[in-house]
Structures are given as structure tokens and as C-alpha cells.
Structure 1
């Protein structure tokens, strides 16, 4: 029995059973390939390829994402490129927008279809790193025989979804290799490097979406991806997915006008206290700009020096 037939038998055996193994995420993906997409593990399927016009439109839609990712792709490729890896940025439909590999490895990846314009969704080529990460909206490692198609079992892939400034699924970052000696440990190391890169891409996207806002990192969170964008009136303009989950906020709350202090569950004051705190903060800012020079601060505020002294005494500002 050849390798392809053996792999096909394994896919059918596990995907159609009710065992614990069959309830794994990989088996769930295999079942989708059989039941939803009508694929067969032994078919010689290549990824669907977009024509030039459709590919150009796909890239134009993702201009911001590509701009936010380029430096991270280059930096990561400097680390993993010489180890026989292909680094891929795909959009939410699994279309390869950008890729990096060495010229010596290009032939292998082109033969497998891991190239610009190719669509690596589950519907196109079954269980694979890019398609399954997008379908499950979670990081995945698809190691060789875990691919659905026998044609793809030479690949080992680590993939991480990338979310936009609203926390919506936008893309996937993927590292794939054809090396036969790749181990679970090495794939886990690559996956961690990929998660770190994806986090930086998401942060870049968020900052690009709110260029004039203050960016606040949530205190007491385990991830630096929990960010709020806040305007000059201390109203929340946007939040990353991690921040939305931590604070239980959504687009509707943000659109209604959400004070950052409320989102962060800071100590509430009544309306009068809010005005007092606002005036105290304004005075402290002006004094800081004046480097503590009371006369200069009074000029900046358009009030007399005596008035400023009274206010400073009232607010206990020294």
C-alpha cells in the first residue's frame, strides 16, 4: 500500500469514528473537508488560483495589513528563512498575498502551490495550516500527515490568525516547511515566534487605525495586545480583541460614547467631582508645561497670578 492510500484510509477511519481521537480539532477539520467541502483525501487537488485582476483587488483591500506586516515578515524571515521555511501572509479567505522563501526552496513550495495568488482555504485544499487556523480562528500546527490531502503531507505548518483593529479576523501568518527532519519541538518554537510576530502586526494595525489617539495598555493583563485607543475627551475610540474580552465591551458601547475611566472601571465620581478633577488636571498640565513657573502658567491660562494661586490652594497643588 503506498503512502497516499495509507493516509486516505487513516483520514476516513478517524473522521468517521466517534472516538476521542475523532473529536480532536484535526478530525473535526477532516470531517468538514468530507461533509461540507466534498473533498477526497486522495484527490490530486491544487489550491485555487486567483487571476491577476482578482489578486490585485485582494491586495488593494489589504494595503494596511501588508504595510503593517512587511517589517515583521522580513524580520522573521531573517531568522527562519535559511532553515528551509516559507513564510506566508494570507488574507481572511486564505489567499497568499505575500511570501518569503529562499531561491533554493522556491521550487518545492511552488510545486505544492504555496505561492502568491493561491487560495489555501479548507474548501480549496482541505486541512492545512492557513485554512484551518482561519476556520477555527485559533493558532494551529498541522504536521505532515495531519493534512487532509495526501498531496500535502510533505508539509509541516504553523499558523496564527491576525485580527484587525476591531478584533475581527483579517488574515493569517504561516510558516511552512518541507523538511523531513522537522520535530514537534521545532514546530512549537516556530509557532511561538509566529505568535509574537502576529501580535506585533496586530499592534501596528491598531495604531495605524487610530493615528491621532492615545493608546492605553490595559493594566493587570497578561498580554500586551490589550489596547484601548482614547481621544482627547477620554472617550474610547477603539479596542483590540484582547481588550474587548477583558473589559466586556463591543462596537455598540464604543459608538455610544464610552469614557475610558468607565471602561477601565476606575473609581467613579459624581458629575461635580468630575468637573473638579478635570480642572485640577488642567491646572497641573499647564504648570508642567510652564515648568512650575506660576507667572508663566497664569499667562497661558489667561488669568491673574493671584487667581492661579487661589486655585492651586483649593486643589492642594504645590
Structure 2
């Protein structure tokens, strides 16, 4: 099979792609498929043309400096995870991208020998991969739908992107808000379904690692508590202060435990957030704490403020302890 024949086939596929997208949308299939719903947004909401052959939009240097400055805490937290992910997939001709919440690539990893190719594809710092700009694509559609996904070759909206396969996962900041996306993209023609699945799993795991690291950096003085089964979600974390109040929760923990900003602001005890029922050694510790509080109250003749001062806690903290330690009183 000659290279010229392969190239002619590729051009034929590209010529048919925009017609296939239009036919799918004219058939009213958008309601039956998440992919075609994204194609519909690309065409009807964002006014894009699948046949458009222009280059990927790129920010100016000034705009890029502002984006990088705003993303700096998350980018710093992501470095180790980006390196590990690149070590896992870079040798297979893949590019690793970290974007902000608007789909702008702020950091990347790829082999030097592949840089020219990836720059030509728009897989470079400053490139804008939002769905509003590029139509259906891994990064933009992940951010639009707030879920991990893979957009494989001709699932892309723009014809110019149909040689790419992109696996992407959302990344949340320390407040549980969508802050960006982690993506692995490649233009390899010999990708198997199994390899794509492995890439997608590695991307999701790396994204959760970035979230956990960013969370720990945001709450350096708090005690970090795993909120759930570590085999299911090692990124479901709570930050707990010295009064055993929740001061932060990752996105995974918020989803698992129903934690909101309002509950945190209302001084949420970690025990309540976790729904713990004391037993065994924990029950013994609670009994010991109850004895300390009772002795402090006895020495202060029942004066809660004086007892709190003797224990080195605030009156409000002691009041919460009294409620927790004597739930039926």
C-alpha cells in the first residue's frame, strides 16, 4: 500500500466528515446520543462549521501570562502528576496537556521529536480547545459536560481534528470547583480500543492526583481525612481543623457526602460530615474526652466560659463539644 494511496484515502474521509455531521443532525439524532448532542451545540449554539479548515485559536502573549498567573496554584500542584503521566504515555507518541476552565492549554508534555507535529495540531500552550471554539473535542466537551470522556478521531466536530484521539478528565480546585482539564492526545493511526481505554484510565487517575495535591497545598495546617473507600476514590478528602471542624472538602468528597460551602461555613463537625458512629477504641476516646470536659466544668462551678479558657478552646467550641458528648442531654 503506497503512502500516496493512504493520503488520498485520508482526504476522502475528511471530505465526507462534514457531510456525515450534517446528516446526523438533520436526522434529529442529537436527542439520542451524547456525542451528537455535542455536535448540535457546536453547530447551533456556537455557529461552527465542521468543514472549516482554519488553525486552532491561540492567545496572545499578554493574555497567556494572565491565564498562567491565575492557574499557577493548580499548575504547581500538577507538576509531578504531569511528569508521571507523560512517562506512561509519552513514548507512545502522545501529548499531555493541562488546561484551564476555558480550555486554554497552560502546560504540556511531549517528546522533542513530536513537538513540531503537536504544534501543528494546536496541542501547544496558549491554544484554545473550548467547545465554543473547536466544537466537539476531548477538552472542550469534557469541560462542557463535566465528566471524563474520550473523543476518538471522527467523533470530533471539526474536520481538521479527526485524526486526533483525545482522552480527557476534569480537574477541580481546592474548593471543589471545575478549574480545568487534563488531556492526553495522539494522532497515531494504529490505536487499539484497549490502548485508548488504558490512556483514559491513566488520565482520570492523574487528574484525581492533581486535585488531591492542590487540596493539600491549600490547607497546609489542617488534618487531611480520607472521606470514603480509598479503592473507590482516593481524592475524596476533608480538611479538618484543630476543633474537628471541616474547613475544606474536595469535589469527590462533596459529591459523596453532600457537603456544600454553606455547610462548611456553618461550622460542620467532621464526625457529622462522615456520619461516624463511635465504637471500640473511638468510643473509649470519646468517654475520656467527656471526663475531661466534666472535670473542667466542675472546677469552674459550671461556668462554660471559664471551663473553655481552662481547656484552651473557645466558648463556642466547648459548647459544640458538650452537644456532641452529651447528645441526649
TM-score (norm 2): 0.80
1:5 Cα offset (Å)? 2.4
Closer/same/farther in 2, CA of residues 161 and 7 from structure 1, 3 Å limit: same
Closer/same/farther in 2, CA of residues 155 and 280 from structure 1, 3 Å limit: farther
Match of 2:100 among 80, 91, 100: 91
Instruction: Establish whether residue 81 from structure 1 lines up as the match of residue 90 from structure 2.
Output: yes
1:22 Cα offset (Å)? 5.7
Give the structure 2 partner of residue 49 of structure 1: 58
Match of 1:10 among 4, 20, 34: 20
Give the structure 2 partner of residue 189 of structure 1: 198
- 1 CA distance for matches of 2:14 and 2:128? 23
Matched residues, number: 278
Instruction: Establish whether residue 179 from structure 1 lines up as the match of residue 188 from structure 2.
Output: yes
State whether residues 16 and 22 of structure 1, in contact with CA within 8 Å, keep that contact through their aligned partners in structure 2.
no
Give the structure 2 partner of residue 217 of structure 1: 226
- 1 CA distance for matches of 2:287 and 2:121? 66
1:45 Cα offset (Å)? 2.9
1:277 Cα offset (Å)? 4.8
Match of 1:229 among 208, 225, 239: 239
State whether residues 165 and 205 of structure 1, in contact with CA within 8 Å, keep that contact through their aligned partners in structure 2.
yes
Q: Deviations over 1:115-163 (max 9, x none)?
A: 1111111111111111111111101101000000110111011001101
Instruction: Establish whether residue 35 from structure 1 lines up as the match of residue 54 from structure 2.
Output: no
State whether residues 45 and 125 of structure 1, in contact with CA within 8 Å, keep that contact through their aligned partners in structure 2.
no
Give the 4+ runs in structure 1 shifted more than 6 A.
Answer: none
Match of 1:278 among 262, 275, 289: 289
SS at match of 2:157: coil
1:9 Cα offset (Å)? 1.0
Give the structure 1 partner of residue 173 of structure 2: 164
Instruction: Establish whether residue 62 from structure 1 lines up as the match of residue 71 from structure 2.
Output: yes
- 1 CA distance for matches of 2:265 and 2:193? 45
SS at match of 1:124: helix
* Structure 1 residue ranges without an equivalent (≥5): 269-273, 283-300, 302-318
1:275 Cα offset (Å)? 8.7
State whether residues 94 and 130 of structure 1, in contact with CA within 8 Å, keep that contact through their aligned partners in structure 2.
yes
Give the structure 1 partner of residue 253 of structure 2: 243
1:202 Cα offset (Å)? 0.5
* Structure 2 residue ranges without an equivalent (≥5): 1-10, 279-284, 294-310, 312-329
- 2 CA distance for matches of 1:236 and 1:57? 32
Aligned residues: CA RMSD: 2.2
- 1 CA distance for matches of 2:78 and 2:117? 24
